[in-house]
A = this chain, B = another copy of it.
Amino acid sequence: MSSPAVQRAAAFCEQFGLRCPVIMAPMAGSSPVALASAVASGGGMGACGVLAMSPEQIAGWAAGFRAAGGGPLQMNTWVPDPPPARDADHEQRVRDFLGRFGPAVPSAAGDAQPQNFDLQMEAMIEAEPAAISSIMGVFPEQWVRRLQRRGIRWLAVATTVREAQAAEAAGADAIVAQGMEAGGHRGAFRAERAESELVGLFALVPAIAEAVKVPVIATGGIGDPKTAAAALVLGASAVQVGTALLRCPEAKLNEHWAEALAQRPWPEDTAATRAFSGRLGRSLRTAYVQAAEAPDAPRPAPYPVQRGLTKPMLRCSFAGPGEDAERRHLGGHGDGLGGPGGAAGARPPGQGGCGGHLEWGEGDP
């Protein structure tokens, strides 16, 4: 006789063709085929965050995944916001501020355009993953119908109970409950509410599990077997894992980023900030993040303008280990498991090694 949590997990695994209820987080820029393939072959679900990828790149990635053995897979991109309001004077202040942490920022940097959402959706559907996940809102109805016709499951990221209810009403097959512990971007449907509606995973999972009928996948701060087990006890049917997978050899992570993750800061060393992209996300509290929090710092420009403006700084900082302040080692509360300097060995995927959700990688626009 097994516990309700184990029964939920078993039912989820059967529904999604998994041997263990662990899903790789779709980390844009940090989803190499080798990592997704290792997770899928280990019994979990691999992932590809396609946010920064063109349709051709998506098709190429999917071909590589199939060639490597294939298996259960989720793909993910952001539900787009309306175009941002531009303010040249304010952007100039942001550029001046960013120039203190990296090279001078060209005025055209803010013009960066995200990939075309509809073309990305077409390409993902053509790739026929087991699931496509939404974040920052729900998929428009036309795409929900397309997914259903192709038998592709829709996993909907929610940061509040009401977002989960809205996603279920729109046809989501499962809810990814993203706690405030999660690294990388918050999935808040309304960007302006992201700070005021930070909900801890400990309260979010049971509340969403009670509010919806579809399975709940917990993410944020899940970093080892005991956190995975606790999430199942709270009402989840599966867990989604990001950061801890990044130090697996298959992740091929930039060595400086990998080293920063190995330091494993305490939870309070991370901060929820808009300083990197204009959208709220959790990051290490670097000198840049701290400076951006100061009252006299210019507020970040809206997404994707801020993302474009910070690119020169971030690109520069990835070149070497010298500039701690600038590196965008963005991780969640779960990174802290083990504490500073803890000897976090890279764990094989699918064996409970898992950390905070982390979405900001080198390819993230």
Which A residues fall within an 8 A CB radius of B? 160-162, 179-181, 196-204, 206-207, 210-211, 220-224, 226-227, 229-231, 233-235, 266-268, 271, 293, 332-334, 336-339, 342, 356
Contact = CB atoms under 8 A, between A and B. Distances in A.
A143 B48 CA distance: 56
Contacts of A211: 266, 339
Contacts of A204: 267, 333
Contact of A200 (B181, B233, B235, B337): B181
Contacts of A210: 337-339, 342
Given A160-B266, A210-B338, A201 B202 contact: yes
Given A160-B267, A161-B268, A196 B234 contact: no
B203 A333 contact: yes
A221 B334 CA distance: 18
Given A198-B198, A202-B222, A206-B337, 15 more contacts: A160-B266, A161-B266, A179-B200, A196-B271, A199-B268, A200-B333, A201-B202, A202-B221, A203-B332, A203-B333, A203-B334, A207-B333, A207-B337, A227-B234, A229-B233
A161 B337 CA distance: 11
A201 B200 contact: yes
A339 B220 contact: no
A231 B202 CA distance: 9
Nearest to A188: B268
A195 B207 CA distance: 24
Given A161-B266, A230-B233, A233-B233, A221 B203 contact: yes
Contacts of A266: 160-162, 207, 211
A77 to B, nearest CB: 25
A204 B202 CA distance: 11
Nearest to A333: B203
A302 B209 CA distance: 39
Contacts of A220: 200, 202
A207 B204 CA distance: 20
A181 B206 CA distance: 13
A210 B344 CA distance: 13
Contacts of A198: 180, 198
20 contacts: A161-B266, A161-B267, A161-B339, A162-B268, A179-B202, A180-B198, A181-B199, A196-B293, A200-B220, A200-B333, A201-B202, A202-B202, A202-B227, A203-B221, A203-B267, A203-B334, A207-B333, A207-B336, A211-B266, A230-B233
Given A161-B267, A339-B211, A203 B230 contact: no
A203 B210 CA distance: 22
A162 to B, nearest CB: 7
A160 to B, nearest CB: 4
A210 B204 CA distance: 24
Report, nearest first, the 4 A-B pairs whose CB atoms are least far apart: A203-B333, A200-B200, A160-B268, A161-B266
